[in-house]
Copies of this chain bind each other. A is one copy, B any other.
Amino acid sequence: MLSTTNPTTGVTTDAGIVLTTDAELDAITAAAAAAAPELARRDRDWRASLLESMADALEERRADLVDVARQETGLGDPRLNGELSRTAFQLRLFAEAVREGGFLEAMIDHAGDTPLGPGPDVRRLLIPLGPVAVFGSSNFPFAFSVPGGDTASALAAGNPVVVKAHSAHLLTSRLAFEALRAGAERVGAPAGTVGIVYGQSAGAALVAHPAIRAVGFTGSLGAAQRLQQIIDGREIPIPLYGELQSVNPVIVTAGALTANGEALSAGLAGSVTGSGGQLCTKPGLVFLPEGEAGDRFAETLAAAIGAQPPHVLLGERVHENFERVRGELQSAAGVTELARGESGGHGYSSAAAVLSVGIDDFSVDHTEEAFGPLVVLVRYTDVSQVEAGLRVVPGSLTATIHAAADEAELTARIAELVAPIAGRLLFGGFPTGVRVSWAQHHGGPWPATNSLHTSVGVTAIRRFLRPMVWQDAPEAVLPAELREGDRSVPRRVDGVLQLAG
């Protein structure tokens, strides 16, 4: 029997959920494997309606979902309501993308003479990979968990999904899964369209199972490495799409401080401590000029963060890990603590903090991700020092530049310096609060992710598709989108891109 813990109180209760047995896992994966060809056969309109029906079903259960998630995660109602809205929006955006059909990358090269002789008729489309296993994260019980981006993109691609319920929010996972299943049933989806397993060993067995064709994962580097080891032991390897860790450097110029240092400092405090700092895009490292303006910025930030009440973290593991990393950062060379918020309180709560280090002392020891409400300021005098400092900063999801409007050249130079270690470059603003949209990219150089793919935005669907070519095929066996007269999707025909008509 599995238990669930309220991180606000620290009280553990029986979740009323049992570990998934091997036999159950076999049945779940068999159902997913049986659903795969059926899902692949259904048309895009139906697939879009599946996603929309799931979005509806989630919103119908909004009150219950938010209630259970609050108890399991300690996150507040406004945040959880916003996250649920975002999760439903994401499903509907993917439905829109499925209807539009550009994600299929349809291409036709007609038969004909080429400089190398006669060429056959070649038609290409992306097709579903097969059942996808999804491992969500503790910090987004909706948007990066059971009904989150990996599930939405795998379903949008036409694949069944089997989720592994996160141990930190088991009841939320079950409730969200029931919503997805209800949404699926309402549009007549095959039984194995969505499945769920509980327990660490069921999760491991899921990744090892031959029916599973890809894994979506959001979590720690260590957990990802354990999943990769399981994959390495499979007869047939499968892709693991992991979103792992990110320190999200911010570079502030002297000009930015002069222009609006005050507002920036307040904004940074919010970005560092919102949701208890437990966001993969939380700015963890801020390069800040030495001198009076920089000191004022640091003081304002320290005052804002030092006055904060304790933050309830997501659970025991997150709490322990945050306190461990805080200790390591504080004992790293040259670090001083500028502020520490209130500590104490019940359950798994931690104090927010601002640390500071001079650029000459700065090293890889200061770059560990503290998953919680903590930021490290790195004080510099010249941008060439930032250049050197960035060489030890690990690949990140984001990098943010705060410069003044008249520092065009400096802005361009800093952008060039941080581009190699980031997947999203921000000019002003803060990296938390990732827009869910067509163009969004949420990924970055290792260890942020494997860098080639995104886990947010419409192009996330690409991860769960593979190309297929039909050569000289009779019209009847071609997918609808590759038939000669079809104009329902954008296509590249003989090298020329054509819009849907």
Chain A residues with CB under 8 Å of chain B are 37, 82, 85-86, 89, 96-97, 100, 102, 105, 107-109, 114-116, 119-120, 122-124, 127, 129-130, 236-237, 239, 395, 405, 408, 411-412, 415-416, 419-420, 422-429, 435-441, 443, 445-447, 450-454, 457-459, 465-474, 476-477, 490, 492, 494-495, 497, 499
Give the interface SS of chain A, mostly helix, strand, loop or mixed. mixed
For A436, what are the chain B residues with a Cβ–Cβ distance below 8 Å? 116
For A437, what are the chain B residues with a Cβ–Cβ distance below 8 Å? 109, 114, 119, 122, 495
- Contact status A446-B237, CB under 8 Å: yes
- Contact status B426-A124, CB under 8 Å: no
- Contact status B451-A466, CB under 8 Å: yes
Cβ distance A406 to chain B, nearest Cβ, rounded Å: 11
- Contact status A459-B105, CB under 8 Å: yes
A469 to B455, CA, bound (A): 13
- Contact status A425-B468, CB under 8 Å: yes
- Contact status A439-B107, CB under 8 Å: yes
For A458, what are the chain B residues with a Cβ–Cβ distance below 8 Å? 495
A412 to B473, CA, bound (A): 10
For A408, what are the chain B residues with a Cβ–Cβ distance below 8 Å? 474, 476
- Contact status B451-A469, CB under 8 Å: no
For A109, what are the chain B residues with a Cβ–Cβ distance below 8 Å? 435, 437-440
A420 to B102, CA, bound (A): 23
- Contact status A467-B450, CB under 8 Å: no
A167 to B107, CA, bound (A): 37
- Contact status B419-A468, CB under 8 Å: yes
A100 to B109, CA, bound (A): 16
A400 to B109, CA, bound (A): 19
Chain B residue, CB-CB nearest to A118: B435
- Contact status B425-A441, CB under 8 Å: no
Contact of A439 among B435, B451, B492 (CB under 8 A): B492
For A473, what are the chain B residues with a Cβ–Cβ distance below 8 Å? 415, 425, 427
Chain A to chain B: the 7 pairs with minimum beta-carbon distance, closest first: A107-B439, A124-B439, A441-B469, A424-B469, A109-B437, A441-B467, A109-B439
Cβ distance A237 to chain B, nearest Cβ, rounded Å: 6
Q: Given A109-B435, A439-B108, does the pair A467, B423 have CB atoms closer than 8 Å?
A: yes
Q: Given A102-B497, A435-B122, does the pair A472, B426 have CB atoms closer than 8 Å?
A: yes
- Contact status B492-A107, CB under 8 Å: no
Contact of A415 among B405, B439, B466, B477 (CB under 8 A): B477
* 24 A-B residue pairings within 8 Å (CB atoms): A96-B495, A109-B435, A116-B436, A119-B435, A120-B429, A120-B435, A122-B440, A127-B419, A129-B452, A236-B445, A237-B446, A237-B450, A239-B450, A412-B477, A415-B477, A423-B467, A424-B471, A425-B470, A427-B472, A429-B471, A441-B467, A443-B466, A445-B466, A490-B497
Cβ distance A196 to chain B, nearest Cβ, rounded Å: 25
A422 to B443, CA, bound (A): 30
- Contact status A116-B427, CB under 8 Å: no
For A89, what are the chain B residues with a Cβ–Cβ distance below 8 Å? 114-116
Number of copies: 2
For A440, what are the chain B residues with a Cβ–Cβ distance below 8 Å? 109, 122, 124, 469
For A411, what are the chain B residues with a Cβ–Cβ distance below 8 Å? 474, 476-477
- Contact status A467-B454, CB under 8 Å: yes
- Contact status A466-B452, CB under 8 Å: yes
Cβ distance A91 to chain B, nearest Cβ, rounded Å: 12
- Contact status B86-A116, CB under 8 Å: yes
Q: Given A89-B116, A477-B415, does the pair A469, B425 have CB atoms closer than 8 Å?
A: yes
Contact of A471 among B96, B416, B427 (CB under 8 A): B427
Cβ distance A448 to chain B, nearest Cβ, rounded Å: 11
- Contact status B438-A476, CB under 8 Å: no
Contact of A467 among B120, B237, B459, B472 (CB under 8 A): B459
A474 to B130, CA, bound (A): 42
Cβ distance A434 to chain B, nearest Cβ, rounded Å: 10
- Contact status A439-B123, CB under 8 Å: yes
A235 to B229, CA, bound (A): 16
A490 to B4, CA, bound (A): 50
For A459, what are the chain B residues with a Cβ–Cβ distance below 8 Å? 105, 107, 124, 467
- Contact status A116-B471, CB under 8 Å: no
Cβ distance A349 to chain B, nearest Cβ, rounded Å: 28
Task: Tell me which of A122, A447, A466, A467 has the highest count of chain B C-beta atoms within 10 A of its own C-beta.
Answer: A467
For A441, what are the chain B residues with a Cβ–Cβ distance below 8 Å? 124, 467-469
A248 to B482, CA, bound (A): 23
Task: Tell me which of A82, A437, A439, A466 has the highest count of chain B C-beta atoms within 10 A of its own C-beta.
Answer: A439
Chain B residue, CB-CB nearest to A463: B452
Cβ distance A242 to chain B, nearest Cβ, rounded Å: 11
